[in-house]
Each structure stands twice: as structure tokens, then as C-alpha cells.
Structure 1
């Protein structure tokens, strides 16, 4: 006997969807150069770079909050092709795009599924 989850997955309608139909793709509000900022172990908000480890986070910055990118989004490192769900608002380094969900009910669980 299969689990309820397996049954729901078997009944789901699967298909191909262009990323632009699921997300708005935006540039970051401001790029913070890793060589010119003080990265901390704790701070105002996470600092997301093009790293493939630690959810792309290098540490934290204490910068002007007007430059925070929204939480509940996906960060995309353009030249490393790294994508991570960012639950909280965050600052970014260079060559990061922000994927803002067009879907209602978008959250950490379904972000990881995507």
C-alpha cells in the first residue's frame, strides 16, 4: 500500500513551466563588494554571495536596510548557477538575481521542492 503523499504525487498534474511564469526575476537592490564590506558572524541581515555552501551566505552585514532584498525568495548566483531559498531579507554580492514568487502560498517547503 502506498503512502498518502505517494498517492497525491501520482494524481498530480505535472508539466513544464517557464521560470518567468513562476517568478519575477529582479536584480538586487544593491551589490555589496565582498572586498569592501565588513562581514560579521551576526548582524542586521544575511549576506548572500555566489557560494555553493551555507545557503550562499557568507555572514551578516550591518548596512542600510533600504538595500535589503525581500525574504521568502530564491537567490540565484548567475555565474555559479547556485540557487538557495532565502527565508529572511538579505543583502547580496555581485551577480546575484532575486526570484520573487508569483505563486500564493510559496514557502520554504515548496521552494526546496522546486
Structure 2
């Protein structure tokens, strides 16, 4: 199954995928700061979330950063605007520490 992988360097870009393709977004994260990457509200009519997971970095040092990976499957033609926010869960999400935006065109 084809897969498109995106990272911080893809912020603000537009990508094109086919129905059935996977879109994988991997962003650096350090959960010990209390900040986590979360998908902003606003369901997509063309992408379905397939889950997310945190992977620790290469070091075993306490408090070390790692990466959070989100996976989406394109299930219908159209456009989706992914908006991920680095914020403290349960706090005011109107002021995230960082944002990741990606436009996904599905055909």
C-alpha cells in the first residue's frame, strides 16, 4: 500500500495521494514537558485516523525527546487540511507552542 511520510519540514505544504494511500506524519515531541501533539478539531471527509504512537529517541536519558507519529488513510476523493498542535492536553488550545499544517489532496 503506497505511503507518503511527512515531517516538520513539510509544514504548510500540499501533498497529493490516491484513495487507499496512507499519510504518515512524524513530529518531534518531548512529553516530559507536558506538551503533546494533538489533532485539532475538525473532522475530515477524506482522511480516517489510523492511530498514533510515541517512539522514544535514541537515548535512554530521562526526559529525552522522541517522536509522535500519526497515520491517516485516504478513503475518499477531496481535500483535507490537517492541523496538528503542540499543546498541553486539557489546557487552552488557542495558544499552542507549535503547529503543523498539511493540505492533502486525494484523488
TM-score when scaled to structure 1? 0.23
Where relative contact order (Cα < 8 A, 6+ residues apart) is larger, the structure is 2
Bigger proportion of residues as strand: 2
Structure with the higher fraction of residues in helix conformation: 1
